[in-house]
Amino acid sequence: VDKYCVFGNPIAHSKSPDIHAAFAAATEQRLTYEKRLAPLDGFAQAVHAFIAEGGKGANVTVPFKLEAYRLAGALTVRAQAAGAVNTLLFDEYGITGDNTDGAGLVADITVNAGVPIAGKRVLLLGAGGAARGAVLPILEHRPAALAIANRTVATAEALVQQFAPLGGEGVVSASGFDGVDGSFDIVINATSASLQADLPPVSPSVFHQGTLALDMMYGKEPTVFMRFAASHGASVRDGLGMLVEQAAEAFHGWRGVRPRTAEVLANLR
Ligand code: ATR
């Protein structure tokens, strides 16, 4: 039986084992998928130990995505663009790093929420690792505009520099939260502000009736960002759909089979 796992610290509350077990059952793939707590200073050792036990692949979550990027001997284009790795594949060629987070986000928006990105105005809040991983997958869907707003404007400007030559020329722009112009069809909160029950200070005028507002975070209750967006006419989603979709994308990379996600997502809720 092929072995997979997710590395993180902390890891106790990870939903990934349940998600992958459901995918495996639905697609009749024989595999195991467990949680592994890696010590903060022992990620690489934990990965090598897992490979020595016959591990075929792994997911990587907080705080190891940058270390996984450095550990991988080969990277997919989207992992290179993201500068971070959430999915590892172990085979005779060594350790390959992929990043399925952005593809998961885009699948949740376009398929689960049924909102096309093509031709739309998209606002991305944040310019850290989570935001960076979203840019290329969003640009691949040809939005009319992708505005990136961040507390530290220079970090958002660096993303524009990076992605302008990759289909973002004239499409992607950067500003601080108070410099955001106009309203948007899709607003994505990729800041970690929700973790501190904080709100990126954007004007409510970024929303119009029917804007899709998505917070990459999720919890038992809607985040402050989701409440703010909903009170200004947006329809809101948390990050649970993105979580399930990034898992499906990783599962497909490992097994060559694409699992259906709707029922798994419904069961998680
Ligand atoms: P992640 O991997 O979750 O993206 P990160 O790379 O540390 O984590 O990035 C965190 C992002 O959330 C950054 O865009 C950060 O803004 P800065 O670049 O200015 O640091 C943003 N962020 C964190 N706390 C925030 C807050 N309270 N309000 C607004 N933005 C915040």
- Domains of the chain, by residue range, sit at 2-99+242-268, 102-238
- 207-226 residue pLDDT tens: 999 999 999 999 999 999 99
Query: What is residue 36's predicted lDDT score, i.e. its pLDDT?
Result: 98
Strands 212-215 and 235-237: parallel
Query: What is residue 175's predicted lDDT score, i.e. its pLDDT?
Result: 98
Which among 35, 56, 65, 120 is annotated as catalytic?
Answer: 65
Annotated binding site for shikimate: 14-16, 61, 86, 101, 218, 246
Asked if 56 is an active-site residue, the reply is no
The CA angle 251-33-103, to the nearest 5 degrees, is 25
Query: What is residue 23's predicted lDDT score, i.e. its pLDDT?
Result: 98
- 2-99+242-268 and 102-238 share one fold: yes
Strands 94-98 and 87-91: antiparallel
Query: What is residue 45's predicted lDDT score, i.e. its pLDDT?
Result: 98
> Which residue in the block uniquely carries the two structure tokens 């459901």?
22
Query: What is residue 168's predicted lDDT score, i.e. its pLDDT?
Result: 80
**Which residues of the chain, if any, have pLDDT below 70?**
none
Nearest CA to ligand 1 atom 25: 193
Query: What is residue 259's predicted lDDT score, i.e. its pLDDT?
Result: 98
Query: What is residue 167's predicted lDDT score, i.e. its pLDDT?
Result: 84
CATH number of 102-238: 3.40.50.720
Query: What is residue 195's predicted lDDT score, i.e. its pLDDT?
Result: 85
What is the CATH superfamily name and number for domain 2-99+242-268? Leucine Dehydrogenase, chain A, domain 1 (3.40.50.10860)
- 35-66 residue pLDDT tens: 999 999 999 999 999 999 999 999 999 999 99
ipTM over 0.95: yes
Query: What is residue 171's predicted lDDT score, i.e. its pLDDT?
Result: 97
Question: 127 CA distance to ligand 1 centroid (A)?
Answer: 7
Q: What is the CA radius of gyration of the chain?
A: 18
Question: 125 CA distance to ligand 1 centroid (A)?
Answer: 9
Token reading at 209: 């009736």
Question: How many residues in the chain?
Answer: 269
